[in-house]
């Protein structure tokens, strides 16, 4: 039973078909009922004997008046055609004596209908209801014949017109019932469509927080779900764009501050050199060396800023991704970073597992990640303590963890963390995860990348 109900309510097309069939059946029943009632009423009135007798009596009186007014004699029976033709569709007239028919309205004056009993053969009895009034006397004008009286035999029928009208009325009632039933069955669905239209107007007005109503199990509900999904996607995109604008604004502000500090120092050193405000050549060399280091610091920040915006632009444009053997690519990039730092004097405590599988990546972008990690460790890691490096595989993901103690000198961390932000964007673009955390004097980086077979 539940499966049948689900079948009934599954699709809009099926609902329309079922509603149409139900409405059609009810409308046919209504049409037959009205037509049957109409026929009963007609049988008791227009097609009834009482009405027919009444009409025949009126017609015979009209015929007698016509004979009298036109002075028709027994020798001029064909003159009755003028009266008969006006009533051709509703009656058949025979005129004669008790034994012989002298006039037939459908053929004029005829003598071949010799027997009164033969009238029914020519009276048009194929019609549904015929009533005969036999032996009504008609008084004619005296002509050459001595007799002036004949008998009228009338077969009266009302025709099919009333039945046709009843059929038309029944058809109109059936159509109205069909429309009413179909609208009644789909009233809620039509109301839902009207409601959706109103809710779309609300969304068009800019209120994307308004959730479109979802009900039913048909295509209209699927449409509402699609509208909500589109609404959510637009909101998420707007939020992402707003966050990106805010982040870029904060980045520009922070970069302006970070660039201003070394620029101010450079200007101060160069101004002292220009004015020869130094004690000896050794102090001059110190000013020049400090200026050079500040210039390198500015260059490093500008390179990272360029790299950050390059990666941000890549998120909106397709980048070629290739399949690499994870056992070759990731350990290679990590070992290159470790080797460079070991050359600088750093000590590592490594716990690396074997990796099997394929990683979908852009090798150049991943290299930028490890270059930024290398630069970060070189600037801020304390070489007095070992840098912990772990690599393990879990749930079809390779996780790389690096943890170090911060250096206890005058080195100041960049306020923008632009290198870390670049790493986050690149790893997120690869479908992975990048986290960084600073707790007291320790700095920890966790990076995950998906693996496939």
What's CA 274's distance to the chain center, in Å?
A: 74
Average pLDDT over residues 326-335: 84
pLDDT exceeds 60 at position 325: yes
Tokens 């637009």 found at: 234
Token code pair at residue 46:
């227009």
pLDDT exceeds 90 at position 221: no
Q: Residue 154: is it exposed, middle or buried by C-beta count within 10 angstroms (0-12/13-18/19+)?
A: buried
Q: Please indicate whether residue 249 or residue 410 has the higher confidence score (pLDDT).
A: 249
Contacts made by residues 257-266, CB under 8 angstroms, sequence distance 24+? 257/415, 258/301, 258/414, 258/415, 258/416, 259/298, 259/301, 259/302, 262/294, 262/295, 262/297, 262/298, 263/294, 263/298, 265/290, 265/291, 265/294, 266/291, 266/294, 266/295, 266/298
Contact call for residues 231 and 199 (beta carbons, < 8 A): no
Whether CATH 1.10.1420 fits 49-157: no
Which residues is 91 bridged to in the sheet?
A: 156
Contact call for residues 357 and 326 (beta carbons, < 8 A): yes
**What does the domain layout of the chain look like in residue ranges?**
2-45+163-185, 49-157, 320-453
Confidence at 170, pLDDT banded by 50, 70, 90: very high
The set of residues, in sequence order, having a beta carbon less than 8 Å from that of 7 and lying 6+ positions away, is: 14
Q: What is the pLDDT of residues 362-373, one digit of tens each?
A: 888 888 888 888
Confidence at 314, pLDDT banded by 50, 70, 90: low
Confidence at 32, pLDDT banded by 50, 70, 90: very high
Instruction: For residues 62 and 140, give the distance between their C-alpha atoms in angstroms, rounded to a whole number.
Output: 14
Instruction: For residues 97 and 103, give the distance between their C-alpha atoms in angstroms, rounded to a whole number.
Output: 10
pLDDT given for residue 431 in this prediction: 85
Confidence at 143, pLDDT banded by 50, 70, 90: low
Average pLDDT over residues 285-300: 79
The least confident of 3-12, 49-58, 348-357, 422-431 is: 3-12
Q: What is the pLDDT of residues 96-129, one digit of tens each?
A: 776 777 787 765 444 444 444 555 554 443 333 3
pLDDT given for residue 109 in this prediction: 42
DSSP character for 296? H
Average pLDDT over residues 152-177: 83
Q: Please indicate whether residue 387 or residue 12 has the higher confidence score (pLDDT).
A: 387
What is the average pLDDT value for the chain, to the nearest integer? 76
Angle at CA of residue 52, ends 49 and 53, nearest 5°: 85
Q: What is the pLDDT of residues 396-452, one digit of tens each?
A: 888 888 888 887 764 455 555 677 777 888 888 888 888 888 877 888 888 888 888
pLDDT given for residue 255 in this prediction: 66
Contact call for residues 365 and 426 (beta carbons, < 8 A): yes
Domain 49-157 and domain 320-453, same fold? Reply is no
Token code pair at residue 55:
């009409």
Terminal Cα-to-Cα distance of the chain (whole angstroms): 46
Confidence at 282, pLDDT banded by 50, 70, 90: confident
Token code pair at residue 53:
């007798």
Instruction: State the pairing for strand pair 131-139/322-325.
Output: unpaired
pLDDT exceeds 80 at position 320: no
Q: Return the CATH class of domain 320-453.
A: alpha beta
Instruction: For residues 434 and 415, give the distance between their C-alpha atoms in angstroms, rounded to a whole number.
Output: 19
Half-sphere exposure of 21 (CA within 13 A, CB side): 5
Average pLDDT over residues 244-249: 74
Instruction: For residues 335 and 358, give the distance between their C-alpha atoms in angstroms, rounded to a whole number.
Output: 19
pLDDT given for residue 7 in this prediction: 44
Q: What is the pLDDT of residues 375-399, one digit of tens each?
A: 888 877 888 888 888 888 888 888 8
DSSP, collapsed to helix, strand or coil, labels residue 175 as: helix
Q: Please indicate whether residue 279 or residue 9 has the higher confidence score (pLDDT).
A: 279
Instruction: For residues 26 and 98, give the distance between their C-alpha atoms in angstroms, rounded to a whole number.
Output: 56
Q: What proportion of the chain, given as a percentage, has pLDDT over 70?
A: 79
pLDDT exceeds 70 at position 186: yes
* Nearest Cα residue to 97 out of 135, 64, 61, 59: 135
Instruction: For residues 186 and 235, give the distance between their C-alpha atoms in angstroms, rounded to a whole number.
Output: 34
Instruction: For residues 159 and 169, give the distance between their C-alpha atoms in angstroms, rounded to a whole number.
Output: 17
The least confident of 71-80, 93-102, 113-122, 189-198 is: 113-122
Token code pair at residue 340:
């460079």
Confidence at 315, pLDDT banded by 50, 70, 90: low
């Amino acid at each position: 039973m539940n499966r049948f109900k689900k079948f009934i309510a599954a699709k809009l097309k099926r609902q329309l078909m079922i509603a149409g069939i139900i409405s059609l059946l009810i409308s046919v029943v209504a049409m037959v009922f009205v037509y049957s009632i109409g026929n009963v009423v007609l049988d008791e009135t227009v097609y009834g004997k009482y009405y027919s007798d009444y009409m025949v009596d009126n017609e015979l009186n009209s015929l007698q008046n016509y004979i009298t007014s036109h002075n028709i004699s027994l020798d001029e029976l064909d003159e009755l055609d003028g009266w008969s033709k006006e009533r051709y569709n509703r009656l058949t007239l025979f005129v004669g004596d008790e034994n012989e028919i002298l006039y037939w309205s459908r053929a004029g004056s005829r003598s071949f209908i010799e027997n009164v009993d033969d009238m029914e053969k020519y009276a048009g009895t194929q019609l549904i209801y015929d009533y005969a009034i036999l032996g009504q006397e008609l008084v004619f004008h005296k002509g050459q014949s001595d007799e002036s009286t004949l008998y009228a035999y009338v077969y009266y029928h009302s025709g099919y017109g009333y039945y046709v009208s009843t059929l038309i009325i029944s058809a109109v009632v059936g159509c109205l019932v069909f429309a009413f039933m179909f609208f009644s069955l789909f009233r809620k669905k039509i109301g839902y469509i009207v409601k959706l239209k109103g809710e779309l107007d609300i969304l068009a007005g800019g209120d994307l927080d308004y959730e479109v109503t979802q009900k039913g199990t048909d295509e209209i509900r699927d449409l509402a779900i699609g509208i909500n999904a589109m609404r959510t996607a637009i909101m998420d995109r707007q939020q992402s764009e707003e966050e990106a604008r805010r982040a870029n604004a904060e980045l520009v502000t922070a970069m302006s501050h970070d660039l201003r500090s070394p620029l101010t120092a450079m200007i101060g050193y160069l101004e002292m050199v220009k004015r020869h405000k130094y004690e000896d050549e050794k102090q001059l060399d110190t000013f020049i060396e400090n200026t050079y280091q500040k210039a390198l610091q500015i260059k490093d920040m500008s390179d990272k800023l360029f790299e950050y915006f390059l990666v941000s632009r890549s998120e909106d444009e397709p980048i070629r991704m290739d399949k690499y053997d994870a056992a070759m690519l990731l350990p290679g990039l990590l070992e290159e970073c470790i080797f460079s730092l070991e050359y600088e004097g750093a000590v590592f405590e490594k716990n690396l597992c074997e990796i099997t599988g394929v990683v979908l990546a852009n090798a150049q972008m991943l290299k930028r990640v490890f270059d930024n990690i290398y630069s970060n460790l070189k600037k801020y890691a304390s070489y007095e303590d070992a840098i912990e490096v772990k690599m393990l595989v879990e749930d079809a993901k390779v996780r790389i963890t690096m943890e170090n103690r911060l250096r206890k000198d005058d080195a100041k961390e960049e306020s923008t963390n632009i290198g870390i932000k670049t790493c986050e964007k690149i790893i997120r673009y690869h479908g992975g995860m990048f986290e960084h955390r600073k707790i007291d004097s320790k700095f920890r980086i966790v990076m995950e990348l998906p693996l496939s077979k």
